[in-house]
Chain A
Amino acid sequence: MKLGPGAAGKGGAAAAPSKACNLAGSALDLEAIRSDNKRELLELLDGVSGRKALVLDAVLGQRLNHVLSEGASSLRDHGVAYFRELRPELGTFDGEAPEHVVYLARCTVASMLTIAGHVKAALRRGEIGEASVDAPRAPKFHVFMVPRTTLLCKQILEDELVLPYVTIQAYHLDFVCFDKDVLSLECDHCFCDWNVHGDPTTLEFALAALLRLEQFFGAPRRIQAFGEAGKRPPPYLYDDYADTRERRDVDTLVILDRRVDLVTPMVTPLTYEGLIDELMGGVRNSCVRLDADVLGDVDERKEGEPPAKPGAETTVAYALNSNDALYAEVRDLNIEKLGVHLRTRAKEIKAIQEEFRANKDASITEIHDFVKRIPGLSQNYNSVKTHVNVTEVVNKTTHGHDFRGRWNLERQMLEGDAVYDEIEDRIAQQEPPMATLRLLCLQSLCGGGIKGQAKYDFLRREVLQTYGFELIGTLYQLEKAGLLSKAKEGTVATNLLLGGADGAGSFAQLRKALKLIVDDVDPHDPRDIAYVSSGYAPLSCRLVEVLAKSGFAGLVNVLPHLPAAPPLDYAPRDYTREDLKDAFDGGGGAKLGANPHKQTRPPPPDATTGLKPVMVVFFVGGVTYAEIAALRFLSKRDDFPFRVVVAATNVCNGSTLIKSLVYEIDNKLQREPAGREDPAQIDAPP
């Protein structure tokens, strides 16, 4: 659903099926979060009485799909007459002017400046302010900041001299539920802010969101935190915090700083969902934009509806969640198994139809039975068709020479080989910059840095000379985020002594200790999480797996190679608030550090229901679809003692992660007019 003026004007929003996942049957009562988010929004809107124009930050508009399961049109009942996207110009309104303009915006400087621009424009037109007696009735401005109001945003509105004309409130929208087991804050810049700039703002949002989770489901029995981000104290220690210790829905909370495992996002996933994300232009807010002719119900559209106007949008947002039963089945399958699986399902459906057609003298009841099954059947049929089409598109790439070459390259790097020449060659062939940078980063991460100053400089120069000098800041930021580095000189041992986990070869140690490379992966019957990329087990998920099964005792050899070791491991309910506060005050919770020599046993399943306890894995800095798949795989296994719910600051992949680290340069150079226009597009003469 697109919340532009067009969609609202036609009322088309109402017709679109919900993009929100049905949350029934989730391990945690996620519906409670969703309905609370919804309640808060409606209360905020009802607090402003009269005709309203709702102006949405584009990113938030999509996020709202997951809050309002019946679509944004339901907001019309709460006085929203117009929908607008937050743009530099507010624009005019066709019908009766709204009494209020309500902004729903993330608390960023850019959106505040845009809003200030709107208010200033109204001031200039004399609609508000002192001399507003004769002027047309002006709307009142309200700003709802997501996920909370910040001093800085207020300061900006004040500096822009518009603060007296707006009312400010917070809309505490943090976690949105993408699926029964996936929660996301959709905060893409968290990793960059924290790791490159050291700005803890978004991290604070993330930890505050965890607190909200606790308010719903109680404090977890155990908290295990890896990485620097996990060592920041939860904000409730400093806040009025209603203790919720009687609820115990969450057994274990694992906080994983993305910095602990930067390798996994750089590796190309081979699950269906992961590949859709990588190859189909990216999954945003659990939706992907597909070409209209890929969709399964395309035939029916041709019969039933007038043909689409030429020039109309040819892509359609397609929701990817477990509402689509078939998708829930296939999304985590390895691409090699996918085709077989889809074929069987298609055959099954065909068979049912054939069976009925063959039965010429079916009784009335039989016909009735069949008709009853039709809605589900046709839905399944459409779904199978769509996924077969999508798979075909995906397969076109995955069967290609390039993709295989890339996989091989990644595998070589993961196993510890240096493939500088291949990377150099790919740069020379001007492969897309993100893809190349991703390989370069993976090489650096796996090999403990690029060996030798000369090589390092050479590769960086190749990048700059090929993709443009503008990347010079980006290279620096990648370096700062730990994705790219020069190998330290010296042996592994001395590096360990001197530089700790970032030393060369630490990935090699981890690979051995955690068996990250699995050679005999059978994609049709996987027995290890390594199936998600046909051979490499995501480090983060492997940590979770080992931790759940044998506690920190299983990680004795691993801990020294992780950054910001030792991880924290404590039972929050055993401490009073003051004790916890003291522990965090005194040096990042050192007292709460994990003891690798203590044996811990995983908790038993619930005696009455037989259900396993719940583990929430919170990725600070982004989670990949491969990791989600791997954790789902673990969750389903009998020998894994938890049901897993994945929470994250955002869903990412290698390219989006690198994109978030790009040093933005705004090129405004004026060129003198000349004969040729865009030099990069010099083509063959006709």
Chain B
Amino acid sequence: MGWNISISEHVVCGAPFGGGLAVIRRCGSKDILAGGVQIYNTAGVQIATIPWGQKLPVGLGWTDDEKLLLVLDDGSTLLYDLLGSFIRTFLMLPSSINQKIVKVCVWGHGLAALTDQMVLQVCDDVGVAAPQVYQMATGLSSNRPAISMVVLNPRFTSSGLVEVILSTSDKSVIIVDSNGPEDQLLQGRIQAPIVDMAVAPNGRFLACFTATGILTVMSTSFTTKVLDFDTSTSVAPLQMDWCGEDSVILYWKHFLLLIGPYGHWLKFPYTRALHIIAEADCCRIITDLSCELLQRVPGAIEMIHRIGSTHSAAMLYDAMEAFEDGDAKANENMHSVNSAEQLNVAIEVNILAALAELEPTQQKRYLRAAIYGKAFCSNSVQDGCIVSAVRKMRVLNHMRRVDPGIFLTALQYEWLAPYALIDRLLARKQHQVALSMCQLLGIAQDKVLIHWACARLRESVAAPTLDEHLRDEIKVHLPTRDCALPYVRIAAAADLIGRRRLAIMLLRHETCATEQVKLLLSMREYDCALNQAVSSMEVDVIHLALLSIERALSSAGVAVDSFYSLIAVHKDASSLLHALYREYLLRGQHKHKLLHNLFMNPSLPIKFSEAGNLAIKIGYREASRTIRFERMREAIALYAQSRDSQFQAKQTEEHLDLLETQIEFEARYGVACFLDMSVTESIYNLIALGASQTSLGTTLQSDALRIQRRFRVPDRRFCHIKVKALAASGQWAQFHAFAVERRPLIGYRPFILALVNCNQPTSKVLKYVDRVQSVDERFSLLVEFKLWRPAIETASRLNDLEKFIQLQSSSCNDPQLRAEISQQLIRLGGF
């Protein structure tokens, strides 16, 4: 051991899986502590010191991820990492309870504490930011106290909840979980109260030491008893724990007693004080001078080295040794491994032995045996096994060095998995080792690199460096291409240490725009976030930025103007905000104010036309006439402010005027057929009304003319409307009068069209056709309106071949007429 301490004067607590050791020095017999809490690695190298007052913690323990928990009797609990940095503190006892904690058990990430009033306080996960503590009733009291306590990891319980096992002085054993206590009623099966208990690493067995010196092993379901062993002493052991899954180790002053599954026992004398740490497949024995590992001889090694073993693996090993000595016995030995199957088994066992072996020289011998055996093997199934075994051994041997000093057996390594091991290395800041391990095992290096960068940043707090230097330093060490490193995490770390500028620099390297923007938003770097969002050109990201900034600014009471001026420079952002507000229109009555403000904001180009359009849209949405008028006046005012929308302003004004006129008409004629009609429709209706309100004929006419004048309706359009309206309302007399009044401005075609559309008799239609002066025009009108008979007559009167050709190709399909056309064609020499 690299340390210089005496175990007898210290309290030791070791983390499982070869983890760190927390050591507290006791001053004499008093519960007063001196020199703080020391953390060592398995090799006794000091890693950290936690400065500590004088109060001795009532309990301490390690979580699965190597965090140290220190619990004081008043319930305050402190969590430290392996390097002694404080993580957080919380209370295991609510302040209202006036009790003291007397005993503490740690499992996985959880913590159970027993108070002097025999109340259990349990926290299932101490790793979260705000650990939740709850109470479990034990049914015990200070009059009937528990003398020992263990915790059954929820991994092993049927309910999936943590179970606390308590033993009392009146021989009962109580299991407590969140559903309440349950007495196991063992009074009849045990002779004396249980003074110490230990749960096996596989959670299936419980070792109990009774006051009369009997060690009882039973299943954790308390249904079967596995072993009763009389130690013939009434002195309770100093420490009792499991060694692997099948043996129990007891420590009395000056010796250790190891009791096997069938009651076999071994006694190891120790002159000095020691501390036992149970592991999954062995136990560590910490003494002043060394850390020993006590383990049942692994099966593979036993097969090879058992005295007189004739197993093929042993034969192979012997053959290898003989071969290396140049002894012919090698051949003989190999002959005894006769089948290929046996040889494969032999090789496999040797590989396993190499893995289980802790001594590198011996590891090599087993490996050499395996490789020697491979020479006799036709297939190379074992290649992969050897390679992966060697890689594992390299990792394990490196870990077992003084630095980093993580002493793991191969089995523990399997259980822990390489990722957890890497986490442990990172917790020790062994980045180089972790990186090499990733490379060796082909594991993604991202995590290591990010952790390194973050650690580097945190270190930089002590020694001020320029942001640029730091960034470059980090960048050099991280791969740039073909690898999307989550730079956002480094940036977040930089921000946490208060180096915002550096954080923003680092964020530029982040490839995921969403993450980038999210972090910038959380840093309240709104401008920068918006910039990044826009340059990502992803709509979702821009929306994210817009929505978050809008919400943040409005809740902070910042005026919208500053928000608008922020988005003003980004075209995509401002158009998306417009789109967003436009969609708000679908959702609520009053959301349009937002859009209006946006149009009118001076930091953006003011959009008078659009604001005017919006006002009109809102006006039309109103059921009330007055509000619509108001909105339209508002629109006029908006339009009027821009040179580009003068037209709109004028038109809106005219439309208002029209609406007022229409209201007047409706009152005058007692019909609701004017409001909201266009100018054309209004004129049409005025004229059409003449059919039913004959008495008002002249007023209607003068009103129609008034509208024409007021809205500068061109005469031609007025004529078209008049013709249509007169025809549709059947005012044929007026229709005729209008046609003959003077030569119509628009020609006779609209008249004819109106007649045809109103299914008027052909004779009437023809009258109007005859009014057309030009013959050609007349003819084409006849053709257009499918008046074939007169068309043929006109054509034959003119003897015009062209016209007959035109008729020939027309859609006329009366056979008699077609025959006539053909005749005429022949007559005129067309064929």
Contacts and interface: CB of A to CB of B under 8 A. Distances in A.
A52 to B, nearest CB: 28
A204 B538 contact: yes
A584 to B, nearest CB: 9
Contacts, number: 185
B156 interface: no
B670 interface: yes
B308 interface: no
B679 A466 contact: yes
A142 B648 CA distance: 46
Nearest to A686: B730
A476 interface: yes
B537 A200 contact: yes
B442 interface: no
Given A201-B539, A238-B513, A663 B617 contact: yes
Given A399-B811, A472-B613, A670-B623, A197 B540 contact: no
Contacts of A685: 691-692, 729-730
A682 B579 contact: no
Nearest to A152: B543
Given A401-B784, A676-B671, A683 B621 contact: no
A347 B765 CA distance: 41
A468 interface: yes
A188 interface: no
A457 B648 CA distance: 10
B791 to A, nearest CB: 14
B829 to A, nearest CB: 27
B620 interface: yes
B530 to A, nearest CB: 15
A391 B721 CA distance: 34
Contacts of A201: 539, 576, 579
A463 to B, nearest CB: 10
A110 B571 CA distance: 25
Interface in A634-686: 663-676, 679-680, 682-685
Given A197-B575, A460-B647, A665 B616 contact: yes
Nearest to B715: A428
Interface string B778-794: 00000010000000000
Contacts of A49: none
Given A193-B579, A232-B537, A466-B680, A476 B648 contact: yes
Interface string B564-591: 0000000110011011101100110000
B620 A682 contact: no
Contact of A670 (B513, B575, B624): B624
Nearest to B780: A401
B27 interface: no
Interface string B535-546: 111111001100
Nearest to A477: B613
B134 interface: no
Main SS class of interface, B: helix
A680 B576 CA distance: 40
B729 A684 contact: yes
A282 interface: no
Given A204-B538, A676-B672, A472 B648 contact: yes
Interface residues of B, number: 79
B586 A676 contact: no
Interface string A232-253: 1101001010000000000000
Q: Kindly state the interface size class of chain A when it binds its partner.
A: 35 or more
Nearest to A471: B678
Interface string B238-279: 000000000000000000000000000000000000000000
A462 B717 contact: yes
B25 interface: no
Nearest to A453: B647
B18 to A, nearest CB: 39
A146 interface: no
Contact of B628 (A109, A460, A473, A669): A669
Contact of B673 (A155, A197, A682): A682
Nearest to A396: B811
Interface string A145-156: 000001110011
A666 B579 CA distance: 18
Among A109, A199, A399, A469, chain B packs the most CB atoms within 10 A around the CB of A469
A674 B580 contact: no
Given A473-B617, A683-B729, A465 B572 contact: no
A156 B728 CA distance: 50
A274 B576 CA distance: 35
Contact of A151 (B543, B689, B716): B543
A353 to B, nearest CB: 25
Interface string A408-441: 0000000000000000110111100000000000
B788 to A, nearest CB: 15
A679 B613 contact: no
B648 A666 contact: no
B623 A465 contact: no
B547 interface: yes
B677 interface: yes
B579 A150 contact: no
Interface in B639-692: 647-648, 651-652, 655, 658, 666, 670-681, 684-685, 688-689, 691-692
Nearest to B717: A428
Nearest to A462: B717
Interface string A534-572: 000000000000000000000000000000000000000
Closest 8 CB pairs of A and B: A674-B672, A679-B673, A684-B730, A198-B575, A465-B679, A428-B717, A199-B579, A473-B613
12 contacts: A150-B543, A204-B538, A399-B811, A428-B716, A428-B720, A460-B647, A469-B652, A476-B648, A667-B620, A674-B666, A682-B689, A684-B729
Given A469-B652, A667-B676, 17 more contacts: A109-B587, A197-B575, A198-B572, A198-B578, A204-B539, A429-B720, A472-B648, A476-B613, A666-B621, A669-B623, A671-B672, A674-B673, A676-B672, A679-B674, A679-B685, A682-B729, A683-B728
Interface of A: 109-110, 113, 150-152, 155-156, 193, 197-201, 204, 232-233, 235, 238, 240, 399, 401, 424-425, 427-430, 457, 460-462, 464-470, 472-473, 476, 585, 663-676, 679-680, 682-685
